[in-house]
Amino acid sequence: MKKLLKVILCILIAIVVIAAAYAAYLFIASHRIGDNTALTVEGGSASADRPETGKTYKLVSWNIGFGAYEDDYGFFMDGGTQSWAWSKERLDANLKAIAERIKTDKADFYYVQEVDIDSTRSNHFDEREYVTAAFDNCWYTFAQNYDSPFLMYPLTQPHGISRAGLMVFSTFKIDSAVRRELPIESGFSQFMDLDRCFSVNRIPTANGKELVLMNFHLSAYTSDGKIAYEQLRIILDCMQEEYKKGNYVIAGGDFNKDILGDSSVYFGKSDIEYTWAQPIPPETFDGYPVTLVKPLNEASPVPSCRNADGPYHQGQYVLTIDGFMVTDNIKVVGADVIDTQFKYSDHNPVYMEFILN
């Protein structure tokens, strides 16, 4: 009996030591990428065209869900069972389908989120190669916002390392771009939240100003949701600063907030209620020369996101968390969600048509 107790005690001690060593590894390996980091502008052609006032332009934003969120996919952080893409073959086919779908939008500017470059969950594919293949003669930038150490959960299929980022594409020349850091939670929450940021891309306009494009993906898996509001305030401050210079600013992407206020009014109640996507308080924009653009056709509303707790089905929690913010010198002509039935991602693309005043 004593021998058995010793064996059990040794096993328990070993488990504690391994757990402590793993926790130490997480904190040692975890780091921030850095603020105001210059981004490389790639691609493009020799065209000297610049955006003009009085013309209508189109911007599309799409969180592609690291290419894995097909309509039968359920992610473990959302209540599903999967932590990796189904297979290399399905991931490759879906990424190619995403690229083909992007080509049909025929927009002037594109924001893309959750583009993996070297992640366990996406078989270490460099997904930039698939996305850039969809754009001919576009300038583009990549800002890394995921750079996490190996996550040993779920135990049966560890999520592993995550390295991913945000991409901006433009048919007009991007002169320069920087990566701006956003605050994240501390403690163990940081390993679920990763390294959030937004990219700031500058495009000269025909009237001597700049069109400033900001792409972001705000926090979702946090303890109380407040950190996303802090992130939003930083972006709003940056928009206001650019507006005071006379520039045109469009910030957009994945808010991870219910930007319709209560999406159930448009899409009905879901069979399971979730609280991770709270509405943005209206007073958030007080004092800022900024308008929140909600992509919505009230006559035929389409959600921009589903909670991927399992395959897409009627009654699943759906809402709109993707959209845009524009400064007051930009006129919004229209905005809506592009209905893909969540075939390629847990997000539908959203678009906005606008005019520079």
How far apart are alpha carbons 16 and 6 in whole angstroms? Answer: 15
Cite the DSSP H helix spans in 30-110. Answer: 88-103
Predicted local confidence at residue 325, as pLDDT: 98
Of 302, 293, 311, 295, nearest to 78 by C-alpha is: 311
Q: Would you call 185 helix, strand, or coil by DSSP?
A: coil
How far apart are alpha carbons 109 and 60 in whole angstroms? Answer: 6
Q: Is 106 exposed, middle or buried (0-12, 13-18, 19+ CB in 10 A)?
A: exposed
Predicted local confidence at residue 228, as pLDDT: 79
Predicted local confidence at residue 4, as pLDDT: 74
Q: Which two tokens stand for residue 91?
A: 């991931």
With a pLDDT cut of 90, the percent of the chain lying above it is 68
Predicted local confidence at residue 44, as pLDDT: 81
- DSSP codes joined into one string, 266-326: HH---SS---SSPBPPGGGGTTSSEEEE----TTS---SEE--SSS--TT--EE--EEEEE
DSSP 258: B
> Are 185 and 179 in contact, with CB atoms under 8 Å apart?
no
* 19 pLDDT above the threshold of 90: no
User: What does the pLDDT look like over 335-352, one tens digit per residue?
Assistant: 999 999 999 999 999 999
**Cis-peptide, bond into residue 289, ω within 30° of zero:** no
Which comes out higher in pLDDT, residue 302 or 277? Answer: 302
DSSP 157: S
How far apart are alpha carbons 330 and 247 in whole angstroms? Answer: 10
> Are 86 and 73 in contact, with CB atoms under 8 Å apart?
yes
With a pLDDT cut of 70, the percent of the chain lying above it is 90
* 3 pLDDT above the threshold of 80: no
Predicted local confidence at residue 22, as pLDDT: 55
Predicted local confidence at residue 67, as pLDDT: 95
The CATH topology of domain 33-356 is: Deoxyribonuclease I; Chain A (3.60.10)
Of 333, 325, 332, 340, nearest to 289 by C-alpha is: 325
Predicted local confidence at residue 200, as pLDDT: 98
Per DSSP, what are the bridge partners of residue 97?
none
Q: Is 30 exposed, middle or buried (0-12, 13-18, 19+ CB in 10 A)?
A: middle
> What is the number of H-type helices and E-type strands within the chain?
6, 16
State residue 163 phi and psi, 5-degree precision: -130, 115
Predicted local confidence at residue 356, as pLDDT: 98
Predicted local confidence at residue 46, as pLDDT: 60
Predicted local confidence at residue 194, as pLDDT: 66
Q: Would you call 223 helix, strand, or coil by DSSP?
A: coil
**Cis-peptide, bond into residue 154, ω within 30° of zero:** yes
How far apart are alpha carbons 97 and 63 in whole angstroms? Answer: 14
How far apart are alpha carbons 263 and 75 in whole angstroms? Answer: 22
Please give the model's pTM, rounded to 2 decimal places: 0.92
User: What does the pLDDT look like over 246-288, one tens digit per residue?
Assistant: 999 999 999 999 999 999 999 999 988 888 888 998 899 999 9
Predicted local confidence at residue 99, as pLDDT: 96
> Are 236 and 228 in contact, with CB atoms under 8 Å apart?
no
Of 343, 348, 338, 281, nearest to 311 by C-alpha is: 343
> Are 196 and 143 in contact, with CB atoms under 8 Å apart?
no
Q: Name the pLDDT band for 10 (thresholds 50, 70, 90).
A: confident
* 42 pLDDT above the threshold of 60: yes
pLDDT (average), residues 59-77: 94
Predicted local confidence at residue 24, as pLDDT: 60
Predicted local confidence at residue 247, as pLDDT: 98
* 294 pLDDT above the threshold of 70: yes
User: What does the pLDDT look like over 182-197, one tens digit per residue?
Assistant: 998 765 555 555 678 9
User: What does the pLDDT look like over 22-31, one tens digit per residue?
Assistant: 556 455 556 6
Q: Would you call 122 helix, strand, or coil by DSSP?
A: helix
Q: Which two tokens stand for residue 326?
A: 């524009």
Rounded to the nearest integer, the mean pLDDT of the chain is 89
Cite the DSSP H helix spans in the chain. Answer: 2-29, 88-103, 128-132, 190-193, 226-244, 264-267
Predicted local confidence at residue 13, as pLDDT: 77
pLDDT (average), residues 176-187: 87
User: What does the pLDDT look like over 74-105, one tens digit per residue?
Assistant: 998 888 889 899 999 999 999 999 999 999 99
Residue ranges of the domains in the chain? 1-30, 33-356
Element housing 169 (H / E): strand 160-170
Predicted local confidence at residue 162, as pLDDT: 87
CA angle 283, 288, 290 (to 5 degrees): 95
Predicted local confidence at residue 239, as pLDDT: 98
Predicted local confidence at residue 186, as pLDDT: 65
* 221 pLDDT above the threshold of 70: no
Q: Name the pLDDT band for 20 (thresholds 50, 70, 90).
A: low
Predicted local confidence at residue 45, as pLDDT: 76
Predicted local confidence at residue 7, as pLDDT: 72
